[in-house]
Amino acid sequence: MPLATGPTVTKPRVLPFYRAVPRLMKDPVTELARMGTDAGGRIVRLDIGPFRPYLVSHPDHVQQVLKTQWSNFAREGMFWRPLRRVTGRSILGDGEGWASSRRILQPLFTARRIASLADDMAEVVAEHVGELERDARPGRLVDAAHLMTTVTNRTVIKVLFGGRISREVGERLLPEFATCATSIGFRLLFPFVPYSMRVPGDRAFLAAAQRIDDIVYPLIEEARAEEPRDGDDGGRPDELVSALIRARIREDGAADLRQVRDDLVSIYGAASETTAMALTWLWTLLHDHPEVNARLRDEIEWVVGDGPVRPSHIQELPYLRMVLQELLRVHPPGWIIPRQVVADTELGGVPVKAGSQVLVSPYTTHRLEEFWERPLEFDPERWAPEREQRRHRYAYVPFGAGPHVCLGQHLFHLQAALVVAGLLARYRPVLTNPQRFTLVPGASVRPKEALLLRLLPSGTDEEPQPDAWRTPVAAPAMGVGGAHDWMWPMGPGGGA
Ligand code: HEM
């Protein structure tokens, strides 16, 4: 595709208000992607009210915003403000505050450090898979989002808090973050609405943020009380709270409780919702692609047997890795990456003024025909080693890029692989209500309708009878996004 660069000034494709808003109200995620792909990756200007963001999807432009001119595209502005009410001034911010958090946190999430936590994670996964026994009975259905959120949450809690937090308290954090992630949808879509005006989701968001503080602050205070003053040792080496406090004491001379809280809450939020939602969508893809499902199950059966899965298995599961990479192409949880322009610049030949909002859209980039053959098709074969080399480096950006690139990539790949392999070694999850699931935007994209799985023992080949599937039981609301008013009998925290 010819791209206007250099001195040529190009007009962006403009979508007028009366066309953009109804489409975004109806199906924001799909429509935003369509606007970008219809423009073939050119810059699109969205007229959605008092401000008009630029939609960025071409890999060259993604590279410019996130990497080569990253400091001119600040992580500030209307789109970040809704989240800042819970993440504060942290690793998810920008400027010197972000840089100091990044210096402190990066060494805590290297491949080597994450690998050292792998046994603990595998143990948590094995325990959870074992507990699913009671859900694998005829007539019982499991809500995939709930299942993936619970198991992800438990492993993330283990990594972040070690033994500092009980399972019960950890599980209280989960619905609060889910509420934060889902109740900002309105503010993300209409960020110009002033904060003095209450909008749908605000009340739930603020209440959940308060409950998160009520859980997290006491943990930090406890950890700080254990630290010797010089910050060189003490605390528990295997958990992040103490490591953060120690690093802050080293860097700033003291550990500001608010600062530690902001980083901890930001990491927890970034780690749990993203991974859980990616893994939720996996079950629709495996349902729609039985050949992928069969190959994946064969690989896991060959390597892991009937479980439990161990960290050493993971590198022997190359097809699983390909499936996860393709999952993040089709369903990148970080579906938009917003930025605010610092100084006048030019993007793909389009002059862009300081103060403008830019929306980098991995969801769109991953669907551009110029870079992806049959982009709408789920095809893990794209990730076969011999085919991977030929791609534009910025055509695949589920974890962002440049100095703000995701800190959790190693954690995601290890954790997701353990969860999928652990589950498939024991069970054959069958999606019982296949349909076109509605994409609900928030901090990640989640399905509006519950995805109902039936867990058959892994050796089973016969298809379950549809009549035996639907045995719903009214249950208390899950508090995860408010998408489901009721749910089916399921594992911990759910069941009737
Ligand atoms: C499927 C899983 C995940 C996806 C798709 C994902 C996606 C992303 C994306 C797109 C960014 C860039 C944001 C930006 O440039 O503004 C990011 C940043 C970040 N992610 Fe992830 N993430 C995932 C899992 C995790 C996990 C497990 C952690 C836990 C450590 C994590 C921690 C972070 C942090 C701390 C940042 C901010 C980095 C910085 O600005 O310096 N993420 N993530």
Q: How many Å lie between the centroid of ligand 1 and the Cα of residue 272?
A: 10
**How far is the centre of ligand 1, averaged over its atoms, from the C-alpha of 329 (Å)?**
15
The encoded tokens of residue 399 equal: 């974890």
Residue 274 CA, ligand 1 centroid: distance in Å: 8
Residue 337 CB less than 6 A away from ligand 1: yes
Q: Identify the sign of the CA torsion 456, 333, 14, 68.
A: negative
288: closest CA among 330, 246, 260, 237?
330
Ligand 1 atom having least distance to the Cα of 277? 1
Beta-bridged to residue 426, according to DSSP, are: none
Question: What is the mean pLDDT of the segment spanning 129-142?
Answer: 87
Whose Cα sits closest to atom 30 in ligand 1?
A: 408
User: Per-residue pLDDT tens for 80-110?
Assistant: 888 888 898 899 999 999 999 999 999 999 9
CA of 271 to the centre of ligand 1 (A): 7
What stretches of 304-356 adopt beta strand conformation (E)? 337-341, 345-347, 350-352
| Whether the predicted model's global pTM rises above the 0.85 cut | yes
- Mean pLDDT of the 105-134 span: 92
Q: What is the pLDDT of residue 485?
A: 24
Instruction: Output the pLDDT for position 385.
Output: 87
Which atom of ligand 1 lies at the shortest distance from residue 75's CA?
16
- Span from the CA of 77 to the centroid of ligand 1 (angstroms): 18
The length of the chain is: 496
180 annotated as belonging to a binding site for a ligand: no
Name the residue among 259, 177, 187 with its Cα closest to residue 224. Answer: 259
Distance CA 337, CA 328 (A): 15
pLDDT digits (tens, 9 = 90+) for 45-67: 987 777 788 999 999 999 999 99
- pLDDT for 468 beyond 60: no
Q: Is 109 in the pocket of ligand 1 (CB under 6 A)?
A: yes
Q: Which residue has the higher pLDDT, 12 or 357?
A: 357
Ligand 1 pocket: which of 277, 407, 444, 445 to mutate (most atoms <8 Å of CB)?
407
Q: Where are the domains of the chain?
A: 13-468
pLDDT value at residue 467: 43
Q: What class has domain 13-468?
A: mainly alpha
**Which one, of 477, 425, 461, lies nearest residue 125 by Cα?**
425
**Ligand 1 mean position to 374 CA, how many Å?**
27
Please work out whether the CB of residue 274 comes within 6 Å of at least one atom of ligand 1: yes
Q: Best substitution site from 267, 406, 409, 414 to test ligand 1's pocket, by max atoms within 8 Å of Cβ?
A: 406
pLDDT in tens, 312-330: 999 999 999 999 999 999 9
Calculate mean pLDDT across residues 126-139.
Answer: 87
Contact criterion met (CB below 8 Å) for 452 and 284: no
